Amino acid sequence: MLIGYARILKSEAEDTTPQVDALKAAGCEKPFAEFPTGGRRDRPQLKQMLDDLRPEDVVVVTELDRIASSLGDLSGILNKINNCGAYFRSLRDGTDKSGDSDRILMQMVQSIGNFERTKLRTRTAEGQEAACSRGNGGGQPTKLAPAQQREILDMLNAGRSAADLARLFRVHRATISRLASKARRSDSVERTNVHQKFLDLAKITPTLSLGPVARIGFRR
């Protein structure tokens, strides 16, 4: 069965019609549609879709950033699909894989995802230590350095609250909120980078053939 998944990002108008139309045209009868919610990680439609997967089902999205926001996220989702004996298909990315190349690509995505998660944990720990060290000194800093901004965004992505980070870095909570809003506005650029990384992986994976539709099947 072809199972479609559509997702609207916070920076977009809340209209899944273009995605849903493309998924239906690809053969998906009733796509799951995800809308922004209060929680950054709250994606009930994705959870429901993964829970309902059966062997030989095919998860279909219009493009990779609709189902994942990073390679680490993509790795985890593909692993769940794989464990169900199902397949994954992206309409935009123009790759077609089968057989041994599936496993090679899966291993590469997982390896890079693990590397990104390890890097995030390291930077988060370093950021906490640096912030504590700064807290032993003078008054509240008037401006966050670029490195501090990256630390804060990493911690936000790891689940830390804006209020917690405001106390940790000794800035107003509004400063954290403005930084998060600015990062969301540049989200389209980051999503493009995710696509490019994935396509770069595909280029170095053997037995790759290009076509108008990407189908990536991961068998158990």
> What is the residue-wise DSSP string for 7-48?
E--TTS-S--HHHHHHHHHTT-SS-EEE---SSTT--HHHHH
Sheet of 209-210, strands arranged across? 32-34, 2-7, 58-61, 87-90, 214-217, 95-96, 209-210
Q: For position 22, what pLDDT does the model report?
A: 92
How does the average pLDDT of the chain come out, rounded? 72
Give the residue, 131 or 180, on which the prediction is more confident: 180
Mean pLDDT (whole number) for 183-209? 58
Contact 183, 76 (CB under 8 A): no
Structure tokens at 38: 């209060």
**Entry pTM:** 0.51
pLDDT digits (tens, 9 = 90+) for 84-95: 888 888 887 654
- What's the token pair of residue 216? 């990536």
pLDDT at 104 over 60: no
Q: What is the CATH number of domain 2-109+207-217?
A: 3.40.50.1390
Residue 107: the pLDDT is 57
What is the spatial distance between Cα 64 and Cα 66, in angstroms, rounded to a whole number? Answer: 5
- Asked if pLDDT for residue 82 goes beyond 90, the answer is no
The residue type at 119: K
At residue 186, φ and ψ (nearest 5 deg) are -95, 15
Domain ranges within the chain, ordered by starting residue:
2-109+207-217, 115-188
Cα–Cα distance, 145 to 125 (Å, whole number): 17
**Residue 147 or 120, more confident:** 147
